Amino acid sequence: MVSCYKCNQNKKTVKSFGKNICIDCLEKRKTGIKGHSGMIYDKNASGNQILFNDEVIKLIKVPKSNKLFTKWYIEHYPKSKGIVGRQLNYIIYYASNPVGIISATSPPLNYKLFNDYFSKKENISDGDFTKTFVNNGAFRIVISPKKNFATQVLKLFRKTIKKDYKKVYGDELQGIITFVEKPRNGGIYKADNWDFIGITQGIEVRRRGKEWLTKTYVKTDNKKLIFGFKYKL
């Protein structure tokens, strides 16, 4: 028996996002909101508020439940079950107007390609290792105000999350990875000097209802390009 990280009692536990949690605490943690991990879609969400008086790019950190972030996220990723784990979510502003969203989230656990790319040390656990890099899990430009705007946002995103991640989670980032679904070719990542590090095998991990903790692996034709960026430490 190991202790539950929530109640500190020695009970039978399961792994959830790298931590041991008992079934009782797992049940209490549920929000009661179905779908999208607590992100509620509101088609009428608006972001027409004025925040700045200059024509520069700003990334404003918001919770995943922010109505505008959720609206633009779900419209762009309709098959997603929402954002879980560590995360930094931003609304992109330009000249006082919201024009898109971008986020950094927990990466897949024990992915050999990332172990090699970020030179995982033998004495570090999978959970601790994945705290050292993030997945650019969402990036959507709804309104592009100028040429090369997406690449400029990506550059600002890299700088912003390195500082915010250290402040919020206390860990130093090694870098970022991202998955690009075809027919996109990852042009904006190439323009920002990311490395092409491979192609997925087309295997999806699925969880359902009460069996959420039980992973099932499904082979698909949906193979994605993988890019990575390393910070100079």
Query: Where along the chain do its domains lie?
Result: 1-30, 33-230
- Find the angle CA(70)-CA(73)-CA(74) to the nearest 5 degrees: 85
Could you give the percent of the chain with pLDDT greater than 70?
A: 80
Beta strand 2-3 pairing with 216-219: unpaired
What is the model's pLDDT at position 212? 47
DSSP 50-77: ---SSSSEEEEEE-TT-HHHHHHHHHH-
What is the model's pLDDT at position 87? 95
Instruction: Give the pLDDT band of residue 170 (cuts 50, 70, 90).
Output: very high
Burial call 208-228: b when 16+ CB within 10 Å, e when fewer = eeeeeeeeeeeeeeeebbbbb
User: Rounded to an integer, what distance in angstroms lies between the CA atom of residue 27 and that of residue 48?
Assistant: 38
pLDDT mean across residues, the chain: 84
What are 13's strand-pairing partners? 22
Q: How far, in whole angstroms, is CA 136 from its chain's centroid?
A: 5
Once rounded to an integer, what is the mean pLDDT over residues 156-185? 93
User: Rounded to an integer, what distance in angstroms lies between the CA atom of residue 187 and that of residue 120?
Assistant: 28
pLDDT of residue 136 exceeding 80, the answer is yes
What is the model's pLDDT at position 118? 94
Residue 187: enclosing H or E segment and its boundaries?
helix 187-191
Collect contacts of 203-208 with beta carbons under 8 A, ≥24 apart. Answer: 207/81
Predicted structure pTM score: 0.76
Please name the residues in contact with 37: beta carbons below 8 A apart, sequence gap of 6 or more: 64, 81, 82, 83, 84
Once rounded to an integer, what is the mean pLDDT over residues 209-225? 63
pLDDT of residue 161 exceeding 60, the answer is yes
* pLDDT tens-digit series, residues 29-78: 655 545 566 676 777 766 554 445 567 899 999 999 999 999 999 999 88
> What's the topology of domain 33-230?
Aminopeptidase (3.40.630)
pLDDT of residue 211 exceeding 90, the answer is no
